[in-house]
Homo-oligomer: A and B are copies of this chain.
């Protein structure tokens, strides 16, 4: 599974996002300037989009496009992918 084969880089990515979120929490606690908080949240959104891209691509290549998958598994994985993409585009 792509989230297992890419476990290390995915974990590094989610931990960076966790660090960004913790920084926002601290900025709010310290009553930092709101424009700073706005930018920090926009940056987290960008990081989450990047992680979403990576997961969608992993799912597409591993569970839909990879040679040797049986038809039923391919179709089920395509359904899951469309679910995520619809939520993602909105």
Q: Which residues on A are within 8 Å of B, measured CB to CB?
A: 1-4, 7, 10-11, 14-15, 17-18, 21-22, 24-25, 28-29, 31-35, 37-39, 41-42, 44-46, 48-49, 51-53, 55-65, 67, 71, 74-75, 77-78, 80-90
15 other contacts beyond A18-B22, A21-B21, A35-B80, with CB at 8 A cut-off?
A: A1-B31, A1-B34, A2-B34, A7-B28, A7-B31, A18-B21, A42-B52, A45-B52, A56-B82, A60-B82, A64-B65, A64-B78, A85-B85, A85-B88, A88-B89
Cβ–Cβ < 8 Å partners of A21 in chain B? 14, 17-18, 21
Interface of A is mostly: helix
